[in-house]
Structure 1
Amino acid sequence: MTENILRSVTVERTGTGHFTATNPRGGTISFGTSSDPHGGTDFTPVELLLAAIGGCTAADVDVATARHVEPTGFTVSVTGDKISDEFGNRMTDLMVTFSVTFPDGELGDRARAILPRAVKTSHDRFCTVSRTVEIGTPVTTTVTDA
Structure 2
Amino acid sequence: MPEIGEQIAALPLRWVDDGRVRVLMVTSRDTGRWVMPKGWEMDGKKPWRAAEIEALEEAGAVGYIASEALGTYRYPKIMKDGRIVPCTVRVYPMIVQKLKPDWKERKQRDRRWFTPKAAAKRVVEDELAEILMSLHRDSMQAGVRDLMKKAP
- For Structure 1 versus Structure 2, the TM-score category normalised by the shorter chain is under 0.3
Which has the greater radius of gyration? Answer: 1
TM-score (norm. length: structure 1): 0.24
Larger RCO, structures 1/2 (Cα 8 Å, 6+ apart):
2
